Amino acid sequence: IADDNGFLFMYGARHFQNWEITGKDLTDADTFLGMFPFEETGQADNGSIASWTVNTIIIAGRKFDTALGVHSSLDETEKQKYDRRLKYLRNVIETVLNNLCAVKGIEITSARVFRELNKFDENTDYVGCELSFVYDSGYDNTIPDYPVALAATNVISTGFSANWQAVTGATGYYIDVSASASFATYLTGYNNKSVGNVLTLVMTGLTSGQTYYYRVRSYNGYNQSLDSVKVTVILP
């Protein structure tokens, strides 16, 4: 995640111990993503481990208001300066969490966000997020394959049937239907619509001559897949 977003990655030894970022580590406007080791606690059940609770901390920081005065020379109040810093760092944390949850299929059971302004020297600030995960031996962490979306059938001037192939292990499917090729907007009620464990959805009440698009995802009760390839449907 750090590499994909151009962040400097740093790995800490312990929470807030023997770990300090200074101007020696960062150049002007460097953003760093820090992470601490996992701390794990097991819950025992009659001599065996029933589940693990795992905690870690990620920190996004940046050296603001560089020596050249690029930012600090702006005509802004102290509050505006802090708002600017926090907004940027908060967006970094949000990017990281979106990557963890959406791409890797991790469920964050709880999170505590904290912030420090001028924690270190050289005007380096950070926003941190303490994460808690639960590893349950009965939890299926498998992310199902995405469905193969098939061409629409029964295409008429006011509707069509959306189709897709079955995915092994899936217990149901979500579908998106849109008049936008980029799915910038959705038909009402068809944004991540759960249709159950079926392989066809009949669409009615549509506009003749309009082009529609649909894509499908599978789910297994714990996780959902990535999107299928979108299908284009042109109504006569």
Instruction: Provide the whole-model pTM.
Output: 0.51
Rounded Cα distance between 67 and 88, Å, is 19
* Cβ proximity of 109 and 97 under 8 Å: no
Please write the tens of the pLDDT for every residue from 118-164.
544 445 677 888 888 777 666 666 788 999 999 999 999 999 999 99
Amino acid 52 reads W
Please write the tens of the pLDDT for every residue from 150-209.
999 999 999 999 999 999 989 999 999 999 999 999 999 999 999 999 999 999 999 999
Percent of the chain with pLDDT over 70: 78
Nearest to 120 by CA among 56, 7, 11, 25: 25
Rounded Cα distance between 142 and 168, Å, is 12
Please write the tens of the pLDDT for every residue from 41-64.
887 778 777 777 888 888 888 877
**What is the distance of C-alpha 137 from the center of its chain?**
24
Rounded Cα distance between 162 and 55, Å, is 43
